[in-house]
């Protein structure tokens, strides 16, 4: 286990460095937007990774509802947290891109808006987990995750239609994709996926340790009370 973790950490560091080099040097400069377009290589893969993590959270939550597995619950928590981190990156890099290109900080672009709503849903999920005093917090959180997943297609269609009525600039889309750009995008996607895996693994082990500590503390106070 330990060795696998170290290997992943080294691989991640190497991949991220290479992907960064690819994004800044290898990728050709885009014609209309110039160097600012390179934000693309961080913004888009972060969005993909965030959505993957939220999908993992959904699957883990459903599994918890069916099997009440603690491992599934921890995985749900971990993927939600790391997903929110990546989602935050998307929501920050998007406006930083939009400003020089479109002159505005925000646009009700379909993907950006969907990302914002997902971020809101998952932050509320994390708040529920932190504020709940019920012994069955994992169950409540899993139910909320399912509600969130049910909401996603509804959010998508509502924003899609809203945008057909109120057209807005599109973040990231449009413009031809030079094949070299596609490769750089792929490198960064793989690198960020490894980072997500690494961070999730770390957070998972941390959560397991924390729960073990809480249980031991509870045991101790119980025994002290019995004495």
Q: Which residues of this chain interact with another protein, rule CB under 8 A? A: 20, 34-36, 38-39, 42-43, 46, 65, 81-82, 85, 88-89, 92-93, 96-97, 99-100, 117, 120-121, 123-124, 127-128, 131-134, 136-137, 139-140, 143-144, 146-148, 150-151, 154-155, 157-159, 161-162, 165, 195, 199, 202-203, 206, 209-210, 213, 216-217, 220
Give least dist CB 123 to another protein, A: 8
Q: How far apart are CA 90 and CA 96, in angstroms?
A: 10
Q: Give me the half-sphere count of Cα atoms (radius 13 Å) on the Cβ side of residue 187.
A: 21
- N-term to C-term CA, the chain: 39
Q: How many CB atoms lie within 10 A of CB 61?
A: 29
Give least dist CB 103 to another protein, A: 12
Q: Give me the half-sphere count of Cα atoms (radius 13 Å) on the Cβ side of residue 115.
A: 30
Going by C-alpha positions, the residue among 66, 28, 63 that lies closest to residue 184 is 28
Largest CA distance in the chain: 77
Give least dist CB 39 to another protein, A: 4
Choose between 72 and 117: whose C-beta lies nearer to another protein: 117
Choose between 107 and 202: whose C-beta lies nearer to another protein: 202
Give least dist CB 47 to another protein, A: 12
């Amino acid at each position: 286990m330990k060795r696998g973790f170290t290997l992943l950490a080294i691989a991640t560091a190497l991949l991220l460095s290479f992907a960064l080099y690819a994004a800044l040097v290898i990728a050709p400069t885009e014609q209309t937007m110039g160097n600012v377009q390179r934000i693309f290589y961080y913004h888009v893969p972060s969005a993909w990774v965030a959505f993957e993590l939220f999908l993992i959270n959904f699957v883990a939550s459903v599994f918890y509802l069916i099997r009440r597995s603690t491992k599934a619950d921890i995985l749900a928590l971990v993927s939600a947290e790391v997903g929110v981190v990546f989602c935050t990156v998307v929501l920050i890099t998007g406006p930083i891109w939009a400003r020089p290109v479109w002159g505005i900080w925000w646009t009700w672009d379909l993907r950006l808006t969907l990302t914002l709503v997902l971020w809101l849903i998952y932050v509320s999920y994390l708040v529920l987990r932190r504020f709940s005093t019920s012994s069955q917090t994992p169950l409540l959180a899993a139910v909320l995750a399912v509600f969130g997943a049910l909401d996603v297609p509804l959010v998508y269609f509502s924003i899609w239609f809203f945008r057909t009525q109120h057209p807005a600039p599109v973040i990231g889309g449009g413009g031809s994709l030079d094949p070299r750009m596609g490769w750089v995008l792929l490198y960064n996607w793989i690198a960020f996926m490894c980072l997500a895996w690494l961070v999730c693994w770390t957070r998972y082990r941390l959560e397991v340790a924390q729960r073990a500590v809480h249980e031991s503390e509870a045991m101790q106070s119980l025994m002290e009370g019995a004495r």
